[in-house]
């Protein structure tokens, strides 16, 4: 009945079961995993949420990348951190989780891989699976301080790797990615067309003074396509406020291309009034072959590249030439022919 994207086993793990039992018995517990700031005794500034009542919010004014004023505010936030990120390189999202989902759709075909740090944010396993992407771990190592085992990143890369995820500062180690690490990772990613996704939601939380200023800057890179993620849920200490953003940097043409290809929901409309999307012709992964892909249409038109049968016709944005693609339901950046298709 339910897809493989969602968990099969809903049973509570051993720790949760034991905590539950201890609570039921009324035993006093000191919960070291408590992470809800709104229940940690902080005094929030008076009027912190007053701007939410601004009457301008009563007007519905849809903008593909998010409201311009809000994106300018994010630009100012980057300025405060010492990075110049123009508002037209910022996309607003409803949480960091949504940003991850948009980026996986933008960069990866079903069955492709992204590299995730270990130890890190446990939700990566679920976020990737929901978008049919595989999470391959690379290691952080501890030797008085935490650092990235760059050799383990190199070992984890395969031809199916589309993105390298960084969390800086990392949850749970608190360690920032250093400038040297970032340069070495960019050198690994650039020639392989691997994008960097840098989760910086905890940017304001340094364990030692000066750690943030000394860290590698992801938001203004020009060598590798980079998506820097931030959000109010952490920077305002209010997990219920789900305004997030992503800042796109990298080689200017590639960064602009990524912004243009924003996925449906923030895309632009074709002259015929239907969503236009870009597709890269690539055989679907056998592991995640979607129902109705080329294998299901014997005798149909053939994919222009791999020659497998298919039924979906796509046409080039520039010259309107038509072709057939075997995976038109899956979108990604391609430096080759740019085809559009009606979703
Ligand atoms: C590293 C990291 N990124 C993102 C999030 C979630 O952010 P959001 O509430 O914007 O989805 C968390 C939440 O704990 C986190 O630890």
| Bridge partners for 249 per DSSP | 226
> Residue 126: what pLDDT?
94
> Residue 204: what pLDDT?
92
Nearest atom within ligand 1 for CA of residue 170: 1
Nearest atom within ligand 1 for CA of residue 244: 10
pLDDT in tens, 133-143: 999 999 999 99
Q: Using the mean position of ligand 1's atoms as its centre, give its distance from the Cα of residue 97 in Å.
A: 7
> Residue 323: what pLDDT?
52
What residues does each domain of the chain span?
59-262, 275-335
Mean pLDDT value across residues 10-24: 93
* CATH number at 59-262: 3.40.640.10
Of the chain, the percentage scoring pLDDT greater than 70 comes to 76
Whole-number Å distance between alpha carbons of 324 and 251: 30
Which amino acids bring their CB within 6 angstroms of ligand 1?
95-97, 121, 167, 171, 199, 201, 231, 233, 239, 242, 244
Task: Say if pTM beats, i.e. exceeds, 0.85.
Answer: no
Q: Report helix, strand or coil for 36.
A: coil
Nearest atom within ligand 1 for CA of residue 239: 9
Asked whether residue 201 carries a pLDDT value surpassing 50, the answer given is yes
Name which of 55, 123, 107, 115 is nearest 246 in CA terms.
107
Q: Using the mean position of ligand 1's atoms as its centre, give its distance from the Cα of residue 79 in Å.
A: 22
φ/ψ of residue 123, rounded to 5:
-70, -15
Asked whether residue 41 carries a pLDDT value surpassing 90, the answer given is yes
Here the tokens at position 99 are 């940003």
pLDDT in tens, 250-287: 999 999 999 988 644 433 433 332 223 333 344 443 33
Asked whether residue 181 carries a pLDDT value surpassing 60, the answer given is yes
Residue 296's pLDDT band (boundaries 50, 70, 90)? very low
DSSP per-residue codes, 120-185: --TTHHHHHHHTT-EEEEEEEEESSSEEE-HHHHHHH--TTEEEEEEESS-TTT-PPPBHHHHHHH
Task: Give me the helices (H) in the chain, please.
Answer: 14-24, 68-80, 96-107, 124-130, 150-156, 179-189, 211-214, 232-235, 252-260
Q: Using the mean position of ligand 1's atoms as its centre, give its distance from the Cα of residue 18 in Å.
A: 26
């Amino acid at each position: 009945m339910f897809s493989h994207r969602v968990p099969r086993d809903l049973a509570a793990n051993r720790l949760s079961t034991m905590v539950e039992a201890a609570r039921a018995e009324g035993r006093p517990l000191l919960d070291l995993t408590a992470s809800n700031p709104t229940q940690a005794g902080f005094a929030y500034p008076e009027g912190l949420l007053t701007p939410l009542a601004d009457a301008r919010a009563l007007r519905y004014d849809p903008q593909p990348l998010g409201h311009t004023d809000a994106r300018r505010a994010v630009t100012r936030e980057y300025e405060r951190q010492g990075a110049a990120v123009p508002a037209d390189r910022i996309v607003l999202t409803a949480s960091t989780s949504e940003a991850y989902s948009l980026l996986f759709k933008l960069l990866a075909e079903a069955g492709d891989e992204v590299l995730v740090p270990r130890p890190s944010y446990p939700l990566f396993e679920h976020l990737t699976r929901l978008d049919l992407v595989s999470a391959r771990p690379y290691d952080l190592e501890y030797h008085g301080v935490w650092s990235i085992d760059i050799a383990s990143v190199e070992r984890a890369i395969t031809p199916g790797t589309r993105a390298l995820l960084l969390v800086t500062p990392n949850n749970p180690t608190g360690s920032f990615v250093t400038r040297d690490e970032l340069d070495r990772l960019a050198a690994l990613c650039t020639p392989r067309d691997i994008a960097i996704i840098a989760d910086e939601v905890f940017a304001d939380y340094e364990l030692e003074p000066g750690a943030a200023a000394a860290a590698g800057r992801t938001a203004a890179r020009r060598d590798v396509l980079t998506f820097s993620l931030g959000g109010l849920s952490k920077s305002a200490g209010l997990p219920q406020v789900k305004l997030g953003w992503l800042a796109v940097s990298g080689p200017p043409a590639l960064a602009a291309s990524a912004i243009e290809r924003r996925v449906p929901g923030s895309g632009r409309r074709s002259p015929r009034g239907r969503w236009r999307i870009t597709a890269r012709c690539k055989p679907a992964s056998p592991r995640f072959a979607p129902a109705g892909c080329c294998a299901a249409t014997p005798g149909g038109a053939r994919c222009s590249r791999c020659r497998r049968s298919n039924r979906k016709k796509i046409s080039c944005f520039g010259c309107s030439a038509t072709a057939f693609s075997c995976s038109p339901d899956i979108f990604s950046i391609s430096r080759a022919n740019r085809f559009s298709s009606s979703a």
